Chain A
């Protein structure tokens, strides 16, 4: 659901548009593929999507609206408790996820670099914008004018499987932000509580829609407000200024100013943490699925049952 080669989100499918992204595959092939898939999906009685966003995408594509139900993923609670501690400034930001271009790790690192005043030349306009927002004067050295500095923690793997230019981009950014970012790398899910204890905010900077990212539920479970891109399934699951904050997708300066606000606004962290609702329990999820299934059984056309 992103356009090639620039990874811009794609909201509309057609044989021609698909062929534009994959010039080696003909329009006719895309057309046939869709007809073929639709022929087989016509046998399905109900589709379940974990977000309204995903449901809408499939309905736009051609699934009959009446067959599509939205049902959030159920979760069994992750083990352990995160330690919150008493902190003067909620300035620790965590990234949890695959290190692919779509997950936007580069957006996160660029925002941190900007807030630390690195790469002056490159981020000059951004810095100026932040200075103006902070009302600082030009006499003070840049880094000191910017107030509290964020600390980033990157939890993720498989950078080595990514395209070379992306690997280089991330390595450069990690090098540039090495004083401000701890690279944790791959982690064990059983240690999630420990890792969550080390962050105040979970940042989900994906540049594509996401359906219903599990990391949102994990963050909420450990009482971590989420800062995410303002698109797709993320924006649907994280409510802006209720249990998290939105920034403009694929825009490091927007993320930087949101992070700055998150660090500098007293009581904001506690307020958003209060807005987090309990996890949707697996037992409730199973109950809902079972009832949907029973409903289908009741309404099924005679002779259709096998």
Chain B
């Protein structure tokens, strides 16, 4: 099998390579996605580091290649087998599918014989002919290391993932499928697998192991990464499964886990779960297809948060919170400004930038225009609408033009490339701000009478301690929607919620007509200096759906010594809560409460006493 050690003829012409005196045998080569090359080498005598460098010699050109030595193993005939992954050193260049590989070693350049075109095979063949005879643990490790090495080179490519999966299926040691029957010794099932990001997932299922400890719980990604999750998973009772196997319903057969794969996984199918018990046999099961849609994933996470049988702390802290946070990050990562339409002439030296995120309900734009038209202060402000539901971009852009032609109120319309959430929409608006003050304004807030904007600025400027300032907001029946927020929780409860002072009382209720500092204010109409907002990094996206970002902002302001103020002399109407379905809203709200409590426990307790004292 070994090639002779004679120097390959005519190869000394490559001046940068040097004279090739040493040769190793190249058994097989496969291409992975055009840029990556896998090579199986029978190697005994040359020293290779984990990181390898070399050349691909083809048609008088020596291309620099680099790569990793994946694994050294022993095949069935006792021969050492080396799996190498190589890629071009220059980033964008594809590899030619012909030529000779030469590796740099301390002993000098080693040529791999024969040329790659003579031993190129499919990934399945490479696997089944050259790697499948390695022992089981070696194969598992090889696939895992290969997937990681490949993942570092090509992020999330479907083609590469598919290649890796073909190789994995040819090479990986297969375990028996555990039959799901009442008498079974062990069984495992994956109910669902949800994509949180390119490389993180949320998995739910159940595991049944009769009369022994579980000592093996592992996920295999379609690309071959092995993720051991034993001990990290959240376990909870699953009565339906317990009934089936006729064991105590208190047995915690259900499991949930937020898992992070070392590399991105692009495929929807191909996930496998393995379980095993101490000294017992192991079984495996296939997971159903990955659920990709971020909104359904979020809904599912929120529902888990809600599920009664799931005790709170560890599931929330270790699984749901990181999953939701990562999911929101993923959403925000892809969001950029698609375009900005300037309607009318930009105002000269505006004092304040009014930021209005638009989400789903586009009719509010017209409603606000029909009121703003009567207020010269808004007409000379830097008015910025940020569209956060881009599927409505085309419609909104034409409506915006019509509305400008009709009302003549100048504004900018910022179109985001994807839905980024309330915090992100405001932060994008703030990044474009031209005024020294910011007013965050919800699209369902309508002014009562003109002149309110300058009164808010005056109030803000008059008190150097102010961080955030908000006015009185009214429901359509003249009752109070907002007169400042305080924190409250039921006796013995853990979770603090934001409560509204004097909600539902008449707008003239005397106690609601005093300007004062309060624990927090609503973000539906919130003034803050542009500089301060930017210094704080804006609203935080960890909260969901435009709720609790505002109080979080106020808590952060408080931490840096700024006060939050409420002023009753400005009144606007807030037709709140029309953009979201109620059920989803209560789910997100529960999560937000919990998250705020988790992050601000001490601060909230301190402020709560303070706040509660003011109700009376």
Q: A14-B477, A15-B476, A27-B477 are in contact. Are A32 and B374 (CB under 8 A)?
A: no
From residue B452, how far is it (CB to closest CB) to chain A in Å? 15
Is A294 part of the binding interface, using a Cβ–Cβ cutoff of 8 Å? no
CB-CB < 8 A to B573: which residues of A? Answer: 31, 35
CB-CB < 8 A to A7: which residues of B? Answer: none
CB-CB < 8 A to A42: which residues of B? Answer: 374
Q: Which residue of B lies closest to A15 (CB)?
A: B476
CB-CB < 8 A to B477: which residues of A? Answer: 14-16, 27
Is A169 part of the binding interface, using a Cβ–Cβ cutoff of 8 Å? no
From residue A101, how far is it (CB to closest CB) to chain B in Å? 30
With A and B bound together, what is the CA distance between A27 and B477 in angstroms?
9
With A and B bound together, what is the CA distance between A32 and B574 in angstroms?
11
Is A40 part of the binding interface, using a Cβ–Cβ cutoff of 8 Å? yes
CB-CB < 8 A to B160: which residues of A? Answer: none
Contact assessment for B370 and A31 in the assembled complex, using a CB-CB cutoff below 8 Å: no
Residues in B347-368 with C-beta less than 8 Å from chain A: 366-367
Contact assessment for A35 and B374 in the assembled complex, using a CB-CB cutoff below 8 Å: no
Q: Which residue of A lies closest to B444 (CB)?
A: A28
From residue A186, how far is it (CB to closest CB) to chain B in Å? 41
Most buried by A among B373, B374, B476, B578: B476
CB-CB < 8 A to A14: which residues of B? Answer: 477
From residue B468, how far is it (CB to closest CB) to chain A in Å? 26
Please tell me the number of chain B residues within 8 Å of chain A, measured between CB atoms: 13
Is B446 part of the binding interface, using a Cβ–Cβ cutoff of 8 Å? yes
From residue A55, how far is it (CB to closest CB) to chain B in Å? 24
Is A26 part of the binding interface, using a Cβ–Cβ cutoff of 8 Å? yes
Contact assessment for A35 and B371 in the assembled complex, using a CB-CB cutoff below 8 Å: yes
CB-CB < 8 A to A26: which residues of B? Answer: 578
With A and B bound together, what is the CA distance between A28 and B579 in angstroms?
12
What 0/1 pattern do residues 179 to 211 of B give for CB contact below 8 A with A? 000000000000000000000000000000000
CB-CB < 8 A to B367: which residues of A? Answer: 32, 35-36
With A and B bound together, what is the CA distance between A53 and B412 in angstroms?
46
Q: Which residue of A lies closest to B363 (CB)?
A: A32
With A and B bound together, what is the CA distance between A26 and B444 in angstroms?
14
Is A140 part of the binding interface, using a Cβ–Cβ cutoff of 8 Å? no
Is A138 part of the binding interface, using a Cβ–Cβ cutoff of 8 Å? no
What 0/1 pattern do residues 14 to 39 of A give for CB contact below 8 A with B? 11100000000011101110011001
What 0/1 pattern do residues 92 to 103 of A give for CB contact below 8 A with B? 000000000000
What 0/1 pattern do residues 300 to 329 of B give for CB contact below 8 A with A? 000000000000000000000000000000
With A and B bound together, what is the CA distance between A26 and B367 in angstroms?
15
Residues in B563-616 with C-beta less than 8 Å from chain A: 573, 575, 578
CB-CB < 8 A to A32: which residues of B? Answer: 367, 446, 575
Contact assessment for A39 and B575 in the assembled complex, using a CB-CB cutoff below 8 Å: no
From residue A12, how far is it (CB to closest CB) to chain B in Å? 13
From residue A24, how far is it (CB to closest CB) to chain B in Å? 14
Q: Which residue of A lies closest to B574 (CB)?
A: A28
Q: A14-B477, A15-B477, A35-B446 are in contact. Are A28 and B371 (CB under 8 A)?
A: no
Complex partner residue of A39 from B371, B476, B578, CB under 8 angstroms: B371
From residue A104, how far is it (CB to closest CB) to chain B in Å? 34
CB-CB < 8 A to B371: which residues of A? Answer: 35, 39
With A and B bound together, what is the CA distance between A71 and B575 in angstroms?
38
CB-CB < 8 A to B578: which residues of A? Answer: 26, 28
With A and B bound together, what is the CA distance between A258 and B444 in angstroms?
54
With A and B bound together, what is the CA distance between A14 and B479 in angstroms?
13
Residues in B373-395 with C-beta less than 8 Å from chain A: 373-374
Contact assessment for B476 and A40 in the assembled complex, using a CB-CB cutoff below 8 Å: no
With A and B bound together, what is the CA distance between A36 and B374 in angstroms?
12
Residues in B420-465 with C-beta less than 8 Å from chain A: 444, 446
With A and B bound together, what is the CA distance between A16 and B367 in angstroms?
19
From residue B235, how far is it (CB to closest CB) to chain A in Å? 45
With A and B bound together, what is the CA distance between A32 and B371 in angstroms?
10
Q: A26-B578, A36-B367 are in contact. Are A31 and B374 (CB under 8 A)?
A: no
The 6 closest A-B pairs by CB, nearest first: A31-B476, A28-B575, A39-B370, A15-B476, A36-B370, A32-B367
12 A-B residue pairings within 8 Å (CB atoms): A14-B477, A15-B477, A28-B476, A28-B578, A31-B573, A32-B446, A32-B575, A35-B446, A35-B573, A36-B370, A39-B374, A40-B370
Other CB < 8 Å A-B pairs besides A15-B476, A30-B476, 8 of them? A16-B477, A26-B578, A31-B476, A35-B370, A36-B370, A39-B371, A39-B373, A40-B370
A residues bordering B, Cβ < 8 Å? Answer: 14-16, 26-28, 30-32, 35-36, 39-40, 42
